[in-house]
Amino acid sequence: MKTTERLLSATKDIWAAYNENPFVKGIQDGTLEQAKFKYYIIQDYLYLEEYTKVFALGIAKAKSPETIQLFSRYVTLLTEGEMDIHRGYMGKFSVSREELEATPRSLDNLSYTSYMLRVAYEEGEAEILAAILSCAYSYEVIAKKIVENNPLAQDHPFYGDWVRGYANPHYGEANVLLLEMTDRLTLHYTEQQVRHLEDIFVACSRYELAFWEMAWNMSK
Ligand SMILES: Cc1ncc(CN)c(N)n1
């Protein structure tokens, strides 16, 4: 079994819960209260700033030009692609730079990014990929399931940009590269090393679920 198949199999139940979360369901049927979405989008922008640094540390830890390229391309995809979705919504909500900078990170946000950054500072390139994967890939899976359940979600006048942003084939193509690189780098990993990757992936998948719950409850 490929490493990524092992990781996904270890987190099946957690991943199944993402699309059951009321926040995600609210995006799917377009009924999500906009105040909750505003809270989420600001927290998520702050999250993405830290998440980008995990890729930057991946560059520093990279052992081949291919992994340097993979991590560095992602930095561009994040700062010029994904974060643009957020900037679009922050524009609609008239969130100023001052408001963004004055917003404290919620505890779930802080814990998640602190964990990923610790893995990035202390461990190697494959472990960094294991920490990144739940974040990168779960949003593709969630958005595609939203579209499968409600094809009209893509055209929703408010949430459509978010749904299209993550269900977009370009977002998926970038994830294929992350998944393939994880499998390539861990081809000769021992059982103990793969178990350690599983621990990292399970922790990040749990943090993802906590982030949706944080957004729904607007918890600080
Ligand atoms: C918390 C979280 N997880 C994942 C993603 C998708 N990159 C995101 N924007 N935010």
Give the tens place of pLDDT for each residue, 14-53: 999 999 999 999 999 999 999 999 999 999 999 999 999 9
Closest listed residue to residue 119, CA positions, set 106, 105, 138, 132? 132
Is the distance from CB of 42 to CB of 34 less than 8 angstroms? no
Going by C-beta distance under 8 Å and a sequence separation of 6 or more, which residues neighbour residue 188? none
pLDDT in tens, 61-87: 999 999 999 999 999 999 999 999 999
Torsion of CA 132, 138, 143, 145, to 10 degrees: 160
Does this complex have an ipTM over 0.90? yes
**Terminal C-alpha separation, the chain:** 40
Q: Which residue minimizes the CA distance to atom 2 of ligand 1?
A: 135
pLDDT digits (tens, 9 = 90+) for 104-128: 999 999 999 999 999 999 999 999 9
Range of the domain at 80: 3-217
- Residue 94 pLDDT: 97
**Tokens 């700033």 found at:** 49
Q: What whole-number percentage of the chain has pLDDT above 90? A: 100
> From the alpha carbon of 136, which atom of ligand 1 is closest?
7
Does 122 qualify as catalytic in the annotation?
no
As a whole number of angstroms, the distance between CA 194 and CA 206 comes to 18
Q: How far is the CA of 10 from the centre of ligand 1 (A)?
A: 20
Return the CATH number at 156.
1.20.910.10
In the structure, what pLDDT confidence band is assigned to residue 147 with cuts at 50, 70 and 90? very high
Q: Which ligand 1 atom lies nearest to the CA of residue 207? A: 1
Give pLDDT tens digits for 81-107: 999 999 999 999 999 999 999 999 999
- The verdict on whether 208 is a catalytic residue reads yes
* Inter-residue contact 90 to 100 (CB < 8 Å): yes
pLDDT, one tens digit per residue, over 160-207 is: 999 999 999 999 999 999 999 999 999 999 999 999 999 999 999 999
How many A from CA of 192 to the centre of ligand 1? 28
Instruction: Yes or no: say if 197 and 189 are a contact pair by the CB < 8 Å rule.
Output: yes
177, with CB counted inside 10 A (0-12, 13-18, 19+), is middle
How many domains, the chain?
1
> For residue 135, how far is its CA from the centre of ligand 1 (angstroms)?
5
Pull the structure tokens for residue 50: 């830290």
Closest CA to 130 of 194, 64, 78: 194
Q: Are 139 and 100 in contact (CB under 8 A)?
A: no
